[in-house]
Amino acid sequence: MTYDPYALAFPAPAFTVTSQDFTDGGALPDSAYQPLNESPELFWGHPPEGARSLVVTAFDADAPIPGGLWHWAVKDIPATLSGLPHGGGAGIALVNDLGGVGYTGANPPAGTGVHRMYICVTALAVESLEIPEGASRALLNIALIPHTVGRAILVGTSRPR
C-alpha cells in the first residue's frame, strides 16, 4: 500500500526520531508484537524551538479496518527528554484502539501482508494537552493542531505470524 496517514495532516516542521530496535522502514523487533507488547526504544534530537511537551503515537496504517488502528498514544512527555526507553516510561498513556492503556503490540491478521506502523513524535508548544479522559485518537489529533511546532515520524513494519 502507498497510503501515508500523515500526508493530509496539519503541516509541521520535521525533526528526527530513530530507534536502536529497528531502522526506518525496517521490521519491528519481536518485543513490539503481542503478547510482549513492549514499545520500541525511541530517540529524538532536540525538538523544534518552542516545544514544551511531546506526544508519541503508533498507528497501523494497513490494518484491515476503516481508518487503520491506533496501537499507542502518550501525551505530556516533557520536551527536555531526548527519547523513551523500551515500554515508554514518561507522560500520560491514553487508551488505544484495542482498549488497552499504553502500547499494544503488532498482531496483523493472517493474509493481510506487511503492515506499516507509523510512530510519530509531535512537539507541542504547551506543557499539557488538555483532552478529556477516554478521548478518542481523533480528538487527540484534533487537539494537537493549534499547538504543534514539529513532527518526527519513524515507520516500522510487521507481518502476520
* pLDDT digits 0-9 by tens, 98-145: 999 999 999 999 999 999 999 999 999 999 999 998 888 899 999 999
**Has residue 1 got a pLDDT over 60?**
no
CB atoms under 10 Å from CB of 147, counted, come to: 18
Measured CA to CA, the distance from residue 75 to residue 70 in angstroms comes to: 14
* pLDDT digits 0-9 by tens, 15-34: 999 999 999 999 999 999 99
Q: What's residue 45's pLDDT? A: 83
Average pLDDT, integer, range 55-84:
96
Q: What's residue 102's pLDDT? A: 93
Q: What's residue 74's pLDDT? A: 96
- For the chain, give the mean pLDDT: 95
Domain map (residue ranges) of the chain: 17-158
Q: What's residue 2's pLDDT? A: 72
Q: What's residue 157's pLDDT? A: 98
**Three-state secondary structure string covering the chain:** CCCCCCCCCCCCCECCEECCCCCCCCECCHHHECCCCCCCCEEECCCCCCCCEEEEEEEECCCCCCCCEEEEEEEEEECCCCEECCCCCCCEECECCCCCECCCCECCCCCCCCEEEEEEEEEECCCCCCCCCCCCHHHHHHHHHHHEEEEEEEEEEECCC
Closest CA to 149 of 72, 44, 74, 79: 79
Q: What percent of the chain has pLDDT over 90?
A: 87
Q: At the topology level of CATH, where does 17-158 sit?
A: Phosphatidylethanolamine-binding Protein (3.90.280)
